[in-house]
Amino acid sequence: MPTIRSTTPRVAIYARQSVDEEQGIGQQLDDCRAECRRREWQIAGEFQDNDTSASKERGPKTAWAAMLKAFDAGEFDAIIVTETSRITRSLVDVLDIRPPRRDIRVVVIREAIDTEHDDFMLKQLVLLAEREVKIKGARAARYAATRRAAGHPTPGKPPHGYRWVPQIERDSAGIRYRIDDAEAEDVRQMFREFLAGAPLGQIARDLSEAGRLTRRGSRWSSSTVRRVLLNPVYAALLAPAQPSGEYDATAIDLEACTPGAWDAIVERDHLVAARSRLIGVAPNHSGTARKWLLSGLAICAVCSTPVRSARGETHPTARIDGSGAAQTLRYHAYRCVKGHFMRNGDIIDEFISEVCIVRLSAADALQLVSPRADRVDIGVLHATREGLKTRRQSIARFVARGLLTDLEADDSLREIADEMRSISDEIARAIREDPLAELAEVDDVRAWWNGSTLARRRLIVEALMTVRIHPVGHGRRVTNLDSAAETVTVEWSRS
């Protein structure tokens, strides 16, 4: 039995665009509303898919799916769009709205299509659009392969530390990433501190407390610092493409990366060292961010338990002249978790800082920061790794010429991969910095200490000494460095 339509159809307006632009959707809706007014049609609903491709499958959460569900519920009779490309670029979608599956009347304003009379032109235009999508896809894939071979990244927002170079400003080499000096220093500090042993949370806190925020103006976190330390782009390496929406920095094989055409911010070995410490280790997003120099480092002189930071509060007594008590003040303190003491931490931090500055300024301090005698020769490791790469290429040639079976090649390649992984681990261990190494070239230790991060100061205290804090008894106040020296014991780890 033929479908009986009312003389005035109930119409659903559908608007779609692939890229989120402020005016695009609005203009489509305005044009469709004007056409409905001209024809005196009733608008039963409006459906908008912003930032949605018409050449890919539209999921159940899109306005497209909601519109089909509304038609199935009998809420409208026809769809009106401005252009065929707005409704779809895939014939599969046309089969969703035209017989035999559904019989939705489709009206296209600019191409004067009305499927009540004939849907041949609609299907032809969609087929042409589908063909154009495939041609553009093949062209884009070829261009992407050429671009990657030249070491150029994909267009888009560059990572922290780099700025995108517009085409009009590029040099003859077509470089697309330019180092942002201020942001690049953030990246260098992350690698420097992490390779010296600082926790991710402490690195994030130090950057944020210094007012050095992410590009969005947010504070750094353990997870954002971790992403930086894993990213091969900072060593000027272009990672292999990964499936859309499935990016995983830990799955990137550095050996499969293409040399990038931009300048590196950190050395490749530093990237290898950072990744070796992070990959295979469960991320600790809570971090270990300390606010004070000795939290968790100093120990109680009575029970040898690590001390914790606390907030002390003064309890002033009333003045003799009857004018009342002084204002209650809060202060930074260290406390023994077993209750042996709680002491003002500022004077203790000042004392330990002074002890470190004096020790590192001494004539024999260079012995503390001299390279280890058993230091691995990184140049030899690099040469060995290059030799393994050559062996891997030779095996591929032998297989191609039939001189090796696939099974024999697999065994050899697995052995080479294990050796290369072992060498990368050795390079990572060799490149990890001694927290004192930076001081070898420092002339003014006091200025360096005052300008260094809390993470670096804590690393130096941990490397140089064990700090024991003694109880001082009720009523005694430690207010200067001399009295602090009498109640704090320093046991040197490096002499």
DSSP letters spanning 227-243: HHHH-GGGGTEEPPP--
Q: How far, CA to CA in Å, does 395 sit from each of 235, 387, 398, 424?
A: 29, 13, 5, 21
Structure tokens at 128: 């042409």
Residue with tokens 């002491």: 343
Taking alpha carbons only, the member of 3, 18, 92, 21 closest to residue 49 is 18
Span 178-218, pLDDT tens digits: 999 999 999 999 998 998 888 899 999 999 999 999 998 99
Query: What are the mean pLDDT values of the chain's consecutive 10-residue runs (495 residues total)?
Result: 62 86 81 93 92 78 91 93 84 81 90 85 80 75 75 87 90 89 94 88 92 92 93 92 77 86 90 83 62 90 91 63 62 88 90 92 74 60 75 80 78 80 70 70 86 89 91 81 90 79
pLDDT value of position 362 = 85
Structure tokens at 370: 């001299």
pLDDT value of position 29 = 92
DSSP letters spanning 100-148: TT---EEEETTTTEETTT--HHHHHHHHHHHHHHHHHHHHHHHHHHHHH
Structure tokens at 59: 């999921």
Residue spans of alpha helices (H) in 299-437: 345-361, 366-369, 378-400, 406-431
Residue with tokens 């004070």: 292
Q: Which residues pair with 318 in a beta bridge?
A: 325
Cut 0.75: pTM above it: no
pLDDT value of position 4 = 47
pLDDT value of position 316 = 58
Q: How far apart are CA 205 and CA 86, in angstroms?
A: 48
Structure tokens at 439: 């001081």
Cβ(268)–Cβ(237) below 8 Å:
yes
Q: Please name the residues in contact with 100: beta carbons below 8 A apart, sequence gap of 6 or more.
A: none
Question: What is the DSSP code (8-state) at residue 225?
Answer: H
Residue with tokens 């553009």: 136
Inter-axis angle of helices 268-278 and 181-195, to 10 degrees? 50
Taking alpha carbons only, the member of 261, 132, 157 closest to residue 214 is 157
Taking alpha carbons only, the member of 382, 470, 363, 394 closest to residue 426 is 382
Question: What is the DSSP code (8-state) at residue 326?
Answer: P
Q: Quick one: CA dihedral 13, 16, 20, 22, positive or negative?
A: negative
pLDDT value of position 369 = 62
Cβ(71)–Cβ(102) below 8 Å:
yes
Span 278-319, pLDDT tens digits: 887 666 554 567 888 999 899 999 999 999 988 866 555 666
